[in-house]
């Protein structure tokens, strides 16, 4: 076994690897960017070294820096985690050239499976079924459009070097193809440094079932059963589980055999995942699954496999990389496990990434619940990396028991600061069709409203709770100031009870709720202050967390941000913004698609912003002419910052 490991990653997976390294007695070495200075993973490791600035290309993707740091720190091996350089053959080669073991497959295996087109050809030769499509080298737009027509719509455009849904677009008809292609190429180039794509037939009622495989340096390979990852949004997995609902021993044997053959075809070493697309319209069948891709690394969802097998897959990775043989175990499954990915995003605003400091953080502690987190209270969620806050995993005797335990755990998880998808995840766990195993990869998109992922009215009961907290805080501040000034406590001029000579003792308080103006009614009586907004009283079950000049209120998995506005201040939050096109989140401007003076139509794409590895298009609010453009391609923009203005078309004279 090794004596030391450099973990070439960040966040929860770096923390996860560090814990197993400690269990095995390895000295763990962390790396960090400027954005991650002092982060949790740097303190869980024995040592930590700065890589560079916040952008990943200057830090976590800088191969030369990583290898040099590993050499200086005396690391015997490098564990890449997942994402970043975990599937980069050049990184694996650089490690070998420096005499450092790469905890993963060989560069040849990474290359063979890393480019989807080549991988599919290899699988065809190995007798593994593949999805129909075009996997060749030609990349001209006209040619790819022709291939899409031949395959038949709907089709998927997929980055050949992709993963995690980045560089992937579903196209329903020919008119949408070119725009979707260019968007996929941009995203793939940004995420993987390779803009090449392939075209695949889109399978109706698709389910995403993957097989966990392991290979060693002695020619052995095995699988550790399957995971179902069909609950997705924009091709990003949201909830994963093991075993797959509806799986039969016969289909498991066939799919497992195909996965092991795929691994052996490239002499695979270490942990990998062979992913299959399944036609779920008639249940899981031996003749209705096709190879999609192989992820030559550990997967985000590996904890569900660990839960049902009792194994530590990271430990297996270290042992295989050290040259040990795969253990001769008769691995069996026990119970059912489900994992939910808690993200810093806002489901009510199209799942826009959410940034900011985590004001409060609390996870449930109970049997059968595991939490893998890479953040803590006080952590700053930045726009530079994936917005994953934590993974919550539930293990139960049955699938329904595991889903109920997970929903309950999500209800009790508290995150204040950035907005999260907690309420959305809990609703997914309780969705009856999902519980009945009647779902496919389109389930979330078809049920957004039922799952609460649509714009909703603010929670006035929660907001009233926030106003009450702010008023109480202000009362304490004034009382403390009065005492420090040696004023008499009985002075009526220091009283905040709303006293007046006639009528009810109440005042109107101007507030903002999630940035929108509102008024709260504050009444004072013998029992203290009571607050209501639009006649709705403060919720007793809401939890309030104070921040500077604001309160974050959590209730039913939703977050409400409340501020008290200055009586004399001008309401600039909601002045008529006219044609202002603002950034919906912190991020990087990938493209400005128009020029000043250009005529645009309502709904036309104006610019593209990337945040947390996802692209977001800004569109024209109405027909008009482009005015001032304030942002530049390649630059960073803050949430709410002006990108450009659109001047409305003047009505024709009559």
- Residues 83, 448: Cα–Cα separation, whole Å: 28
Q: Which residue has the tokens 């924009």?
A: 234
- Secondary element (H or E) of residue 314: helix 313-321
Neighbouring C-alpha atoms within 13 Å toward the C-beta of 227: 31
Q: Which residue has the tokens 């008499």?
A: 488
CB 589 within 8 A of CB 631: yes
CA 200 to chain centre: 25
Q: How many other C-beta atoms can be found within 10 angstroms of the C-beta atom of residue 623?
A: 14
- Residues 252, 226: Cα–Cα separation, whole Å: 8
430 flagged as catalytic? no
Residue 283 has what DSSP assignment?
A: B
- Residues 129, 289: Cα–Cα separation, whole Å: 7
- Residues 407, 400: Cα–Cα separation, whole Å: 11
Q: Which residue has the tokens 């089709």?
A: 155
Provide the terminal-to-terminal Cα distance of the chain, rounded to the nearest Å.
85
CB 53 within 8 A of CB 34: yes
Q: Which residue has the tokens 């992937």?
A: 168
- Residues 581, 641: Cα–Cα separation, whole Å: 9
Instruction: Name the 3-class secondary structure at 295.
Output: strand
CA 12 to each of CA 225, 458, 505, 635: distance values in angstroms, whole numbers, following the listed order:
24, 32, 52, 28
158: β partners: 168, 198
CB 146 within 8 A of CB 140: no
Parallel, antiparallel, or unpaired for β 516-525 and 528-533? Answer: antiparallel
Residues 6+ positions from 446 with CB-CB distance below 8 Å: none
Neighbouring C-alpha atoms within 13 Å toward the C-beta of 35: 20
Of 16, 166, 233, 297, which one is the catalytic site residue?
297
Q: Which residue has the tokens 């304490």?
A: 476
- Residues 11, 40: Cα–Cα separation, whole Å: 8
**Residue numbers annotated as active site:** 297
């Amino acid at each position: 076994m090794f004596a030391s490991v450099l973990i070439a990653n960040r966040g929860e997976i770096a923390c996860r690897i560090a814990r197993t390294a400690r269990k095995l007695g390895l000295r763990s070495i962390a790396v960090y960017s400027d954005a991650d200075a002092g982060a949790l993973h740097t303190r869980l490791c024995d040592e930590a070294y700065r890589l560079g600035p916040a952008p990943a290309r200057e830090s976590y993707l800088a191969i030369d820096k990583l290898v040099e740091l590993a050499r200086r720190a005396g690391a015997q091996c490098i564990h890449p985690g997942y994402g970043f350089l975990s599937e980069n053959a050049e990184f694996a080669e650089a490690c070998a050239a420096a005499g450092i073991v790469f905890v993963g497959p060989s560069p040849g295996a990474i290359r063979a499976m890393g480019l989807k087109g080549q991988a599919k050809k290899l699988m065809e030769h190995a007798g593994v079924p593949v999805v129909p499509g075009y996997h060749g080298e030609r990349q001209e737009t006209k040619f790819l459009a022709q291939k899409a027509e031949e395959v038949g719509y709907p089709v998927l455009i997929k980055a050949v070097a992709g993963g995690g849904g980045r560089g992937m677009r579903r196209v329903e008809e020919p008119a949408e193809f070119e725009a979707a292609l260019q968007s996929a190429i941009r995203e793939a180039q940004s995420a993987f440094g390779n803009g090449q794509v392939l075209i695949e037939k889109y399978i109706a009622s698709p389910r995403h079932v993957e097989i966990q495989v392991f290979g060693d340096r002695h020619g052995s390979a095995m699988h550790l059963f399957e995971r179902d990852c069909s609950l997705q949004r924009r091709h990003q997995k949201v909830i994963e589980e093991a075993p797959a609902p509806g799986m039969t021993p016969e289909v498991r044997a066939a799919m497992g055999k195909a996965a092991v053959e795929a691994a052996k075809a490239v002499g695979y070493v270490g942990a990998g995942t062979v992913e299959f697309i399944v036609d779920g319209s008639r249940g899981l069948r031996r003749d209705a699954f096709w190879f999609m891709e192989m992820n030559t690394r550990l997967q985000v969802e590996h904890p569900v496999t660990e839960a049902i097998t009792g194994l530590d897959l990271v430990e297996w990775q270290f042992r295989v990389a050290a040259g040990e043989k795969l253990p001769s175990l008769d691995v069996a499954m026990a119970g059912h496990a489900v994992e939910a990915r808690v993200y810093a995003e806002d489901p009510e605003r199209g799942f826009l990434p959410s940034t900011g400091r985590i004001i409060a953080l609390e996870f449930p502690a109970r049997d059968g619940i595991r939490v893998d987190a890479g953040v803590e209270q006080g952590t700053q969620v930045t726009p530079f990396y994936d917005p994953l806050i934590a993974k919550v995993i539930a293990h139960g005797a049955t699938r329904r028991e595991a889903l109920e335990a997970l929903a309950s755990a999500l209800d009790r998880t508290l995150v204040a600061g950035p907005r999260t998808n907690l309420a959305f995840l809990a609703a997914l766990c309780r969705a009856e069709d999902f519980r009945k195993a009647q779902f496919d990869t389109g389930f979330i998109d078809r049920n957004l409203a039922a799952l609460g992922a649509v714009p909703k009215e603010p929670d006035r009961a929660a907001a009233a709770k926030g106003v009450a907290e702010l008023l109480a805080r202000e009362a304490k501040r004034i009382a403390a100031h009065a005492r420090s000034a040696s004023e008499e406590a009985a002075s009526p001029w220091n009283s905040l009870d709303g006293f007046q000579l006639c009528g009810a003792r109440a005042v109107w308080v101007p507030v903002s709720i999630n940035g929108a103006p509102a008024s709260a009614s504050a009444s004072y009586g013998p029992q203290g202050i009571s607050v209501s907004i639009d006649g709705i009283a403060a919720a007793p079950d809401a939890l309030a967390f104070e921040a500077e000049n604001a309160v974050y209120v959590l209730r039913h998995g939703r977050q409400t941000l409340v501020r008290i506005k200055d009586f004399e201040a001008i309401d600039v939050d909601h002045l008529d913004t006219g044609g202002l096109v603002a950034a919906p989140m912190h991020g990087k401007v990938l493209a400005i698609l128009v020029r000043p003076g250009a005529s645009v139509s309502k709904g036309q794409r104006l610019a593209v912003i990337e945040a947390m590895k996802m692209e977001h298009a800004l569109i024209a609010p109405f027909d008009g002419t482009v005015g001032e453009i304030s942002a530049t391609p390649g630059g960073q923009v803050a949430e709410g910052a002006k990108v450009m203005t659109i001047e409305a078309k003047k009505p024709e004279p009559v």
